[in-house]
């Protein structure tokens, strides 16, 4: 056994450390067992995670999730949670969980944090079976209003204008004079006072119609001591009232660089208390950073240089979807485009287009052209290199506006979407023509695409058409019903499809939710219910179609859809008075159409099974039809109490069963399925 080459001794009072090991290619050969890591800190009994650290006032609640980690007897251990006022002593709320055999969630109200920008605290004490304290941890939490100028949709609204954000790096005078807006850039990143004082450069940017993101991390250094915190506050005070200000970048790749959470927290706290109007922004590479970095940012850039990756045509989709899941649509996120040589690869305009579309499909609200490049050791903005003209010429402004019009501002109506291993495509309409965005997800080989020119719910099909390519090679196609062509490796193309006979698309609705295009069969239903105020949302941009709906939410949808309007009576005893569905459950109970689970309980947070969903719906609508359920291969699994209701729902055409011939009575109902059922009720 060899002798260890080096060791790390943590400073006194350090509870944890991030150790990053990077193996570089050298003449030597390294094996995985050449690295040994020894844990010298006794692990916590449980692992606890808050969903956020800084909560927006519009969010009704937050939570602390706790899971057993190193415990001898979690079933007989307990956790006590105390929500403390900003003085750290006054108790606002207390709750105890008597067993930790499974994960527990402590939920608190953001309204308890009455003072904006103050530190409140969630204290967690974990007790063993003998009553001894195994762990005592305190989590700071804050409440801030969402930055004044940044909408939940990622659109920045200031100076009486709307800015869809495309950021470019390198805010020198010569960069600003090059007119970066010609390449679609609307905001630039200013780094310190490196040539001309920052306010003077902001004045020039404003004259060009550009916004400025102020990079505090490079110009000041990270906010990890009192001096740097004071410097951050001073810089914010200098620029916060400038009309060109977009916001503040705190640090480049803080997660990757092992920046402490406490320092990120102090930086955000300092900036937002000094300037409540402009957002805090950070970027990081994807590995592990999303939940962590979202806690200390209003905007996050996904800093992944994927253009040279062999899997570049697919990887941004996966990365951005991970990011979307981490933030649950509550904050905007962007992709950082690799506009410099990385691994001897400089992304082409086609590759940049491809990665941008991948990211927008996955829910991104904008993109950043990370445009620094090294030339003889000197960092030169991409905008000052010859390649910049390729962006200006090859990425026409109409396409930038088109991207945002389809995915962010929703000026184009969604029509259909599909994704396979090799091809990703989506179709939108301006009310007259269709625009089909098609991506070859394979970087090294051509692929053939066949795209059905119909909407996701099958309400229309385009017959004869003419299609003209709007990007890349100039091509014209014609056909009937299907757009068929070959894609070159990693090609991204937009086709403008004009039907030979004029068609109407006015029946297509537009949903504000970015996660609904993955469910084209439910999209129009969700948009219809959204318009009528029937459904709720998981966040301002996220409907959550893939998640199972709860009993409380389904009952709320149903009562609203049916328009039941009786005086609400006494509610079920397990329904909190301020719950979103409380009024509808009280109405449904008073009307006699919603039954509980016994003992005056409704179990509103439990996921509803399909047979219970059908039973509740049939009873509420007083359906009396009957259908032969023998056509479904799993009809024998339907409970006796639900059989007549399932039969009535099928007879009424509200339930059609699955493509595999099942009706899945014991499965759960998703939020997408619930919306479709409500829309069928409205349409019947």
How many CA atoms lie less than 13 Å away from 270 in the CB half-sphere? Answer: 25
Whole-number Å distance between alpha carbons of 29 and 525: 59
Whole-number Å distance between alpha carbons of 656 and 201: 62
H or E stretch including 651?
Answer: helix 640-651
Question: Phi and psi for 326 in degrees, rounded to 5?
Answer: -65, -40
Give the pLDDT of residue 588.
Answer: 94
Hey, how many other C-beta atoms are within 10 angstroms of the C-beta on 509? Answer: 16
Whole-number Å distance between alpha carbons of 389 and 392: 5
First to last CA, the chain: 76
Q: Give, as one character, the DSSP assignment of residue 506.
A: T
Domains and CATH numbers, the chain: 46-144 (2.60.40.2550), 155-407 (3.20.20.80), 414-499 (2.60.40.1180), 522-683 (no CATH)
H or E stretch including 189?
Answer: strand 187-191
H or E stretch including 198?
Answer: helix 198-207
| This prediction's pTM | 0.89
Give the pLDDT of residue 20.
Answer: 60
For the chain, list residues with pLDDT below 50: 1-6, 23-33
**Non-local CB neighbours of 222 within 8 Å, separated by 6+ positions:** 228, 250, 251, 254, 259, 263, 267
Q: What angle do CA 405, 410, 411 make, to 5 degrees?
A: 60
Whole-number Å distance between alpha carbons of 230 and 274: 11
Secondary structure E strands in 404-521: 413-419, 423-429, 434-440, 447-452, 464-469, 476-480, 482-487, 492-499
């Amino acid at each position: 056994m060899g002798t260890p080459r080096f060791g790390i001794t943590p400073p006194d009072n350090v509870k944890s450390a991030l150790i990053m090991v990077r193996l570089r290619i050298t003449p030597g050969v390294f094996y995985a067992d050449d690295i040994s890591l020894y844990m010298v800190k006794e692990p916590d009994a449980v692992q606890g995670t808050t969903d956020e650290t800084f909560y927006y006032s519009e969010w009704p609640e937050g939570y602390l999730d706790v899971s057993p980690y190193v415990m001898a007897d979690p079933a007989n251990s307990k956790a006590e949670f105390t929500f403390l006022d900003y003085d750290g002593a006054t108790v606002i709320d207390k709750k105890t969980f008597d067993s930790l055999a499974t994960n527990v969630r402590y939920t608190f109200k953001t309204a308890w944090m009455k003072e904006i920008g103050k530190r409140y605290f969630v204290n967690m004490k974990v007790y063993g079976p003998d009553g001894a304290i195994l762990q005592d941890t305190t989590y700071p939490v804050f409440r801030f209003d969402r930055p004044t100028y940044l909408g939940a949709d990622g659109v920045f609204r200031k100076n009486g204008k709307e800015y869809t954000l495309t950021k470019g790096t390198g805010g020198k005078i010569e960069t600003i004079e090059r007119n970066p807006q010609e390449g679609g850039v609307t905001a630039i990143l200013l780094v310190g006072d490196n040539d001309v004082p920052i306010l003077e450069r902001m004045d020039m940017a404003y004259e060009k119609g550009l916004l400025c993101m102020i990079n505090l991390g490079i110009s000041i250094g990270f906010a990890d001591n009192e001096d740097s915190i004071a410097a951050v506050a001073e810089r914010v005070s200098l620029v916060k009232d400038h009309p060109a200000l977009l916001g503040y970048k705190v640090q480049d790749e803080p997660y990757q660089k092992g920046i402490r959470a406490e320092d990120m927290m102090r930086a955000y706290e300092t900036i937002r208390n000094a300037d409540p109007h402009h957002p805090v922004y950070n970027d990081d590479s994807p590995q592990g950073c999303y939940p962590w970095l979202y806690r200390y940012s209003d905007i996050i850039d996904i800093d992944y240089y994927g253009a040279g990756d062999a899997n570049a045509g697919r990887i941004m989709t996966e990365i951005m979807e991970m990011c979307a899941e981490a933030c649950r649509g509550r904050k905007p996120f962007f992709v950082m485009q690799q506009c410099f040589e990385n691994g001897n690869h400089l992304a082409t305009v086609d590759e940049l287009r491809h990665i941008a579309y991948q990211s927008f499909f996955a829910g991104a609200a904008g993109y950043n052209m990370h445009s620094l490049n090294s030339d003889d050791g000197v960092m030169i903005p991409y905008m000052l290199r010859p390649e910049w003209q390729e962006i200006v010429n090859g990425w026409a402004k109409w396409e930038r506006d088109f991207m945002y019009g389809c995915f962010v501002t929703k000026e184009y109506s969604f029509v259909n979407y599909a994704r396979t291993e090799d091809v990703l495509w989506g179709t939108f309409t301006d009310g007259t023509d269709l625009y089909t965005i098609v991506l070859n997800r394979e970087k090294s080989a051509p692929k053939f695409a066949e795209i059905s020119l119909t909407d996701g719910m099958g309400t229309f099909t385009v017959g004869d058409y003419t299609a003209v390519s709007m990007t890349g090679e100039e091509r014209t196609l014609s056909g009937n019903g299907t757009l068929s062509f070959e894609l070159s490796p990693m090609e991204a193309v937009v086709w403008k499809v004009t039907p030979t006979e004029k068609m109407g698309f006015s029946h297509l609705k537009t949903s504000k939710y970015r996660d609904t295009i993955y469910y084209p069969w439910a999209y129009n239903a969700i948009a219809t219910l959204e318009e009528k105020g029937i459904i709720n949302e998981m966040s301002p941009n996220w409907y959550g179609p893939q998640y199972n709906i709860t009993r409380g939410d389904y009952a709320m949808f149903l009562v609203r859809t049916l328009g039941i309007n009786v005086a609400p009576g006494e509610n079920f005893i397990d329904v909190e008075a301020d719950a979103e569905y409380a009024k509808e459950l009280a109405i449904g109970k008073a009307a006699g159409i919603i039954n509980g689970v016994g003992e005056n309980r409704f179990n509103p947070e439990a996921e509803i099974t399909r047979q219970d969903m059908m039973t509740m719906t049939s009873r509420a609508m007083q359906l009396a039809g009957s259908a032969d359920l023998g056509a479904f291969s799993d009809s024998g699994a339907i409970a006796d109490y639900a059989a007549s209701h399932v039969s009535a729902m099928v007879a009424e055409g509200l339930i059609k069963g699955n493509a595999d011939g099942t009706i899945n009575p014991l499965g759960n109902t998703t939020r997408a399925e619930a919306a479709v059922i409500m829309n069928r009720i409205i349409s019947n």
